[in-house]
Amino acid sequence: MAVLLLKKQGFNVFGATMKIFPDFVEDSLFHRGDNYFKFKPSKDGCYGPKEKQAVLDAKKMAEKIGIPHYVIDLKKEYKKEVLDYFKKEYLEGKTPNPCVVCNSRIKFGYLLKFAQASGINFDKFATGHYARVSFDKKKNRYVLKKGKDETKDQSYFLYRLTQNQLKNIIFPLGEYRKSEIKKMAKKIGYKEIAEKKESQNFIECDNYGTLFKNKFKKGNILDVERKILGKHNGVVFYTVGQRKGLDIGGLKEPFYVIRINAKKNEIVVGPKGLLFARKMTVKDSVWNFDSKVGQKIRCQVKIRFGAPSAGCRVTIKNGNTAEVKFAKEQFAIAPGQSAVFYKKDEVLGGGIIAK
C-alpha cells in the first residue's frame, strides 16, 4: 500500500528487500551441524527460515504492481549489529529491543548504503511504518511524529534516526489509520493480504535460547531475602516483570521477576508490589534538540513498546545519560529496553534504560 500510494502521487518507485537470515550452504558464518538454527518456525517473524518465501512474495508483489525489485544481502551486518548486540544484552540479564537497533543501523542505514553502492539511484526512502516526518521551520530541523493511528504507531522503534536519515524518509501510511489502509487494499483487490495475520515478532519461534548456542546455564531463583525457591534454565529466558514459567509453586501470592543478576547467574523474584518505581536512569540517549547538561524537560515517556505514555520530568546529565522521575509509579521497568520521550505527538528523543 505504501508503494501504491506513492505511485498515485506520481513517484517513480522500486522495491528493496533485506536478506538477513543465513543460507547454510553459502554462508560461512553458520554451520548446519550446530544448534544455532535447529528450531521449527512456530510463528511469523523478521528472522528465520521463512525469509526465503518472504523474499519471493515481495518479488511477486513487485511484479504484480509493476516496479523493479532488488534483494540486498545484509546477513553479516545484521549478525554483527543486531544479533550480537541482542545476545550480549540478554546474557548480561537485560531486555534489549532488537527492532530499535535494526531500524537505525540496518534498515535505515546499511540497506541504503548498500543499495547506493550497487548502483541503485534514489532520492527518497519510503517504508510502511505508521509514523510521520515533517520539517519544523522554527527549530530548523526534521521532526519524527507518531502515526495518526496511535494504536498502530511505530515511532517508538524509530527514535534513534538522525537528521540525515529523517530528511530523506517518506512514511506514506503515517497519515492514515490502519483500518483505512486495509479498506483501501480490499477495494483494489488485495483482500487476502489485508486479512493476513499481523506479526510483530523478532524471531520465528518462542525460544530465544535458540540463538545462544548453549552459552547459558541453570542457576538459582531467590526471593529478596536470598532464600532459594527453585532453579532457572538460564538468565536469557527471563525478563523483569515476568510471572509465567518460574515454576516455583506453594507461594501465598504470585511472584514476579524483580531483577536479574547475570554475574551470579541468579533470578530474584518477589511480590508485584516490589516492581513499582518512581524513577529510572537512561543511558546512550539521543535528543532531537540542542540538549544541555542540567536541562529539565516535562514530557511523556514510553518505557516499552505498547506501554501507555507516562508523565515524567527528565534531567539531562553528562555522558548521554538522563535521570527520569515519573509523576506516578511505573510497573516493571526493564534495563535494556528503550525509553522514548514525547511532547504530544512529537518524538523528543530516547535512550536505553540503565537502572
% of the chain surpassing 70 pLDDT: 93
Q: Is 143 in contact with 133 (CB distance < 8 Å)?
A: yes
Please tell me whether residues 232 and 338 are part of one structural domain: no
pLDDT of amino acid 26? 42
Is 210 part of a structural domain of the chain?
Answer: no
Please tell me whether residues 257 and 342 are part of one structural domain: no
Count of domains observed in the chain: 3
pLDDT of amino acid 249? 81
Query: Per-residue pLDDT for 44 more than 60?
Result: yes
Mean pLDDT on 98-124: 95
Please tell me whether residues 260 and 136 are part of one structural domain: no
The CATH number of the domain holding residue 233 is 2.30.30.280
Cell, residue 292: 544541555
The CATH number of the domain holding residue 294 is 2.40.30.10
307: which DSSP letter? P
Give 129-157 pLDDT, tens digit per residue. 999 999 999 999 999 999 999 999 999 99
Nearest to 129 by CA among 164, 165, 96: 165
Mean confidence (pLDDT) of the chain? 91
> Phi and psi dihedrals of 111, rounded to 5?
-55, -45
Cβ partners under 8 Å of residue 118, min gap 6: 70, 72
3-state secondary structure string across 16-32? EEEECCCCCCCCCCCCC
Lowest mean pLDDT among 17-31, 223-237, 258-272: 17-31
pLDDT of amino acid 281? 98
Please tell me whether residues 171 and 71 are part of one structural domain: yes
Cβ partners under 8 Å of residue 169, min gap 6: 108, 124, 125, 126, 127, 133, 161
Q: Is 256 in contact with 303 (CB distance < 8 Å)?
A: no
Confidence of residue 25 (pLDDT cuts 50, 70, 90): very low
Total residues belonging to the chain: 355
Cα–Cα distance, 145 to 321 (Å, whole number) = 23
Confidence of residue 46 (pLDDT cuts 50, 70, 90): confident
Is 255 part of a structural domain of the chain?
Answer: yes
Is 140 part of a structural domain of the chain?
Answer: yes
Phi-psi label, residue 95: left if phi above 0, alpha if psi -120 to 50, beta otherwise: beta
Cα–Cα distance, 173 to 129 (Å, whole number) = 7
* Partner residues linked to 282 by β-bridges: 322, 353
Is 203 part of a structural domain of the chain?
Answer: no
Please tell me whether residues 14 and 111 are part of one structural domain: yes
Query: Per-residue pLDDT for 317 more than 80?
Result: yes
The CATH number of the domain holding residue 82 is 3.40.50.620
Nearest to 166 by CA among 108, 251, 252, 223: 108
Please tell me whether residues 321 and 183 are part of one structural domain: no
Of the residues 46, 99, 102, 312, only one is catalytic, namely 102
Please tell me whether residues 264 and 298 are part of one structural domain: no
Query: Per-residue pLDDT for 73 more than 50?
Result: yes
Please tell me whether residues 149 and 185 are part of one structural domain: yes
Mean pLDDT on 321-330: 98
The residue from 194, 225, 254 where one domain ends is 194
Q: Are strands 15-19 and 69-73 parallel, antiparallel or unpaired?
A: parallel
Please tell me whether residues 139 and 29 are part of one structural domain: yes
pLDDT of amino acid 42? 63
Nearest to 204 by CA among 58, 343, 49, 60: 49
Is 157 part of a structural domain of the chain?
Answer: yes
Number of helical H runs and strand E runs in the chain: 9, 16
Nearest to 334 by CA among 156, 95, 85, 159: 95
3-state secondary structure string across 293-305? CCCEEEEEEECCC
Please tell me whether residues 46 and 144 are part of one structural domain: yes
Confidence of residue 35 (pLDDT cuts 50, 70, 90): very low
pLDDT of amino acid 267? 97
Is 211 part of a structural domain of the chain?
Answer: no
Nearest to 1 by CA among 103, 152, 150: 152
Is 33 part of a structural domain of the chain?
Answer: yes
The residue from 129, 163, 194 where one domain ends is 194
Catalytic site residue 299?
no
Cell, residue 44: 511469523
Please tell me whether residues 270 and 296 are part of one structural domain: no
> Phi and psi dihedrals of 36, rounded to 5?
-55, -45
Give 195-236 pLDDT, tens digit per residue. 887 766 788 776 677 777 767 899 999 999 999 999 998 999
Q: Is 240 in contact with 260 (CB distance < 8 Å)?
A: yes
Mean pLDDT on 289-306: 95
Question: For residue 99, what is the enclosing H or E element?
Answer: helix 98-101
Q: Is 190 in contact with 61 (CB distance < 8 Å)?
A: no
Please tell me whether residues 12 and 117 are part of one structural domain: yes
Query: Per-residue pLDDT for 34 more than 80?
Result: no
Catalytic site residue 205?
yes
The residue from 194, 228, 243 where one domain ends is 194
Confidence of residue 39 (pLDDT cuts 50, 70, 90): low
Task: Give the residue numbers spanning the domain of 35.
Answer: 2-194
In terms of DSSP H, where are the helices of the chain? 2-8, 51-65, 75-78, 84-91, 98-101, 111-117, 163-166, 178-187, 191-194
Is 160 part of a structural domain of the chain?
Answer: yes
Give 326-352 pLDDT, tens digit per residue. 999 999 999 999 999 999 999 999 999
